[in-house]
Amino acid sequence: MQIRHSALFLRSLCSALIAVALLPASGQVQAEQLSEAERHQQRLSTTAMSQTLPLQKRIRALRELYADEMENGRIVRTFCVWDMLGRSGPVFSTVEDQALRSLHYGLELQPVAYQDEERLVADLRSGACDAALMSGSQALAFNRFAGTLEAPGSVPDKDHLYTLIQVIASPEMTEHLQGGGYIVLGVASLGEHYAISNQKTLRGYSTFAGQSLAVPASDPSLRQLARALQAQPEPQSQMAAVQSFSSQQTPLLMAPLVAFYAAGAGQAGNETRILNYPLSQSTIQMIGREARFPPELAQIIREDFLLKFPHYVRRVEQERSNIAAGLWLDVSEREIAVLENRMQASRQALRGQGVYDPLMLRLAHKVRCRMNPDRSECLPAAH
């Protein structure tokens, strides 16, 4: 992964975003009201959460803090993983490395592959899975803050996404990443969502009106954007949407690029074209059951995901390189301007419906304007 901005710029931007996101701290129990044992537990928790301390010291504190949950020196958890290609797919192969790394801090993740994402989600809810790695659109139902990363047009590229994942990996963000019995354990890149056409007459967004468009049923943002483009969305499972398009049952598709390739659609008819402007970021997110992943353990897992961000990006780029160059279709500046206005309207509509998290939308806006202050939405006249 190539970061276009300096590390110092990204660190300062990340710090500024965290300052914006912080809410007034809730009242804490005064130290003098705690017993010695409680103060010791509090010190261990503070040590495990601190990003300024050596990792080994944090791990020792974590092991002592949750010694009663360990089996043979490890916390054992079932880790369910969605990959459209099962155990042989690009996501699962990356996860096996994640499981090995987790042993270092006393967590034994036992990965189980799922090709059916709906079943994976059901098993997480039932408790059959302690944690599950799923698409960001599915994760939105468990945590709005992290799920909002996939809002259309909100996060233009991987530089922007990397900065926001740095924010997510900060201990100060913990309260935004848990609730309802679930906790976000990590976010990684899965490429981008694109619009794809398989008919010669559908050469740009302006020709989508009235056309059937296959879209993943779990993704409210793509459904909303399809309607904003005056297309007729046909919600299906992600794999079914891609297969419906590749078999030419529907002329248009909105989906993650990795799904398009994984389903073999890269070899679809001669008229297939990918409109070369990403609609939104596609992420994969690890969601855990809050009772099975205490905050200190969740914090270290999120940091590990951040560390592995370039690896996930490289894996996606390997898949992208297999797509024939002739499938890409450039989009005019005029169409891009119209598309960005419609994506902004879609974000606002879904925020108003309570689908998107307002704080994450504000943070993403700040990142866009800090990285590209000449964007029309960032100019004084836009406010």
Same domain, residue pair 342 and 275 = yes
Q: State the pLDDT confidence band at 377, using cuts at 50, 70 and 90.
A: confident
Per-residue pLDDT averaged across 196-201, rounded?
Answer: 84
Q: Which pLDDT does position 35 carry in this prediction? A: 86
Same domain, residue pair 170 and 303 = yes
Q: Is the pLDDT of residue 272 over 60?
A: yes
**Residue of 91, 90, 89, 111 whose CA lies nearest to 100:** 111
* Domain assignment of residue 27, yes or no: no
* Domain assignment of residue 359, yes or no: yes
Q: How many CB atoms lie within 10 A of CB 345?
A: 15
Same domain, residue pair 310 and 265 = no
* Domain assignment of residue 381, yes or no: no
Q: Which pLDDT does position 74 carry in this prediction? A: 87
Same domain, residue pair 75 and 157 = yes
Q: Is the pLDDT of residue 375 over 50?
A: yes
Same domain, residue pair 92 and 176 = yes
Per-residue pLDDT averaged across 294-316, rounded?
Answer: 90
Q: State the pLDDT confidence band at 268, using cuts at 50, 70 and 90.
A: low
CATH of residue 197's domain is 3.40.190.10
Report how far Cα 200 is from the mean position of its chain's Cα atoms: 33
Eight-state DSSP code of residue 17:
H
Same domain, residue pair 254 and 171 = no
Residue with tokens 């913990």: 174
**Structure tokens that stand for 19 in this block:** 């300052």
* Domain assignment of residue 310, yes or no: yes
* Whole-structure pTM value: 0.88
**Structure tokens that stand for 334 in this block:** 């005029």
Q: Which pLDDT does position 278 carry in this prediction? A: 94
**Structure tokens that stand for 111 in this block:** 């990965």
Q: State the pLDDT confidence band at 246, using cuts at 50, 70 and 90.
A: confident
Same domain, residue pair 275 and 286 = no
Q: How many domains does the chain have?
A: 2
Same domain, residue pair 89 and 184 = yes
Q: Which pLDDT does position 29 carry in this prediction? A: 47
Query: Percent of the chain, pLDDT > 70?
Result: 89
Q: How many residues does the chain have?
A: 383
Question: β-pairing, 182-197 with 252-256?
Answer: antiparallel
Per-residue pLDDT averaged across 308-327, rounded?
Answer: 84
Same domain, residue pair 177 and 289 = yes
* Domain assignment of residue 25, yes or no: no
CATH of residue 87's domain is 3.40.190.170
Per-residue pLDDT averaged across 314-331, rounded?
Answer: 84
CA dihedral (114, 115, 118, 121) in degrees, to 10, reads: 20
CA distance 15 to 262: 37
* Domain assignment of residue 239, yes or no: yes
Q: Which pLDDT does position 327 carry in this prediction? A: 86
Cβ atoms of 58 and 47 within 8 Å: the answer is yes
Q: Which pLDDT does position 19 carry in this prediction? A: 64
* Owning domain of residue 200: 193-280+325-373
Long-range contacts of 97-103 (CB under 8 A, 24+ apart): 97/308, 97/311, 98/304, 98/305, 98/308, 101/304, 101/308, 102/301, 102/304, 103/74
Q: Which pLDDT does position 25 carry in this prediction? A: 46
Same domain, residue pair 250 and 206 = yes
Higher-confidence residue of 218 and 163: namely: 163
**Residue of 345, 290, 331, 318 whose CA lies nearest to 143:** 290
H-helix or E-strand spanning residue 371? helix 358-371
Q: State the pLDDT confidence band at 71, using cuts at 50, 70 and 90.
A: confident
The contacts of residue 200 (CB under 8 Å, 6+ apart) are 271
Higher-confidence residue of 21 and 212: namely: 212
Query: Percent of the chain, pLDDT > 90?
Result: 51
Same domain, residue pair 150 and 72 = yes
Q: Is the pLDDT of residue 312 over 50?
A: yes
